[in-house]
Amino acid sequence: MNVELRHLRALVAIGDEGTITGAAAELHISQPALSRTLDQLESRVGVRLVERTTRRLALTDAGRRLYERAHSILRQLEDALTETTAGVRPLRIGFAWAALGDRTVPLLRTWRERHPGTPVSVHRHDDPEAALRRGEIDAAFLRTVPSPNAGLEVRPLYRERRLVAVPDGDALTRRAAVRLADLADRPVVLCATAATTADLWPDGQRPRAVEVANVDEWLTVIATGDAVGVTAEATEHSHPHPGVRYLALADAPPVTVRLAWPRVATHPATRTFLAHVRRMTRG
């Protein structure tokens, strides 16, 4: 197809910026030059990649798939060139919510002691699954099940209990035990990465859902009394908040914590890190 790196860089910039103006500025080229490059790419792959309107650009399904692959290809090239002069780069580990809670620091400290030549860097992403596909991170801790066509290897690590997060002073804090039924008449704030969905409740008993994008919004909605939240126990350690109390949920099933990485690993230490995590979280 004779697709060049400049074509991939153009698509990535358009996907990242959402406009020709922003993408052209990011690439330091003119808008007409960027439009020609995009036209060339679409012509060479034989499919529409970007839907254009007078107000905005949107990637098509095919464009989204190529955009994520292009991100990964360009990242791997950058890594390879960097490693040529600087040696092996850090292993990038992502998470969306709370990493491994109180296990996180001991795990990273023992890794540093045992593998001093392979540093680890930790990155929070609202969508770590997408970050994996784009090659922005090498592995991620997940509390949700990835899409089966995401191209990821996934290994379960351990399970942790679920908690309910309520505003400080809420009546639920005076109960000896809190159950899912106690929340059915309350708005419940949901986030795609919080390991909580309306499916926790049976049909006919599901509470009204308030959806947010990330943990910061989740905490704010709860602290202000607009909703309660259900989450994994690591959140209490990683996200203490003066306006939020965490309580045990007596009848909620536990959350499985997983490590996921691309089927073609993007860092040579990925499986060694998996073995390390399993040793540190055993028991």
pLDDT at residue 121, rounded to an integer? 96
Amino acid identity of residue 100, one-letter, is L
Domain 5-83 falls in which CATH fold? Arc Repressor Mutant, subunit A (1.10.10)
Ramachandran category for residue 87: left, alpha or beta (phi over 0 → left; psi -120 to 50 → alpha) = left
What's the CATH superfamily of 88-157+257-281? Periplasmic binding protein-like II (3.40.190.10)
Tens digits of residue pLDDT in 171-188: 999 998 899 999 989 999
- Beta-bridge partner residues of 188: 209, 228
pLDDT reading at 84 higher than 90: no
Q: Do domains 88-157+257-281 and 162-253 have the same CATH topology?
A: yes
- Each domain of the chain, given as residue ranges in start order, spans 5-83, 88-157+257-281, 162-253
Nearest Cα residue to 195 out of 151, 147, 161, 244: 161
CATH of 162-253, picked from 1.20.1250.20, 3.50.30.50, 3.40.190.10, 3.40.50.720, is: 3.40.190.10
pLDDT at residue 134, rounded to an integer? 86
Tens digits of residue pLDDT in 107-160: 999 999 999 999 999 999 988 988 998 889 999 999 988 888 888 999 999 999
Is residue 118 within 8 Å of residue 54, measured between CB atoms?
no
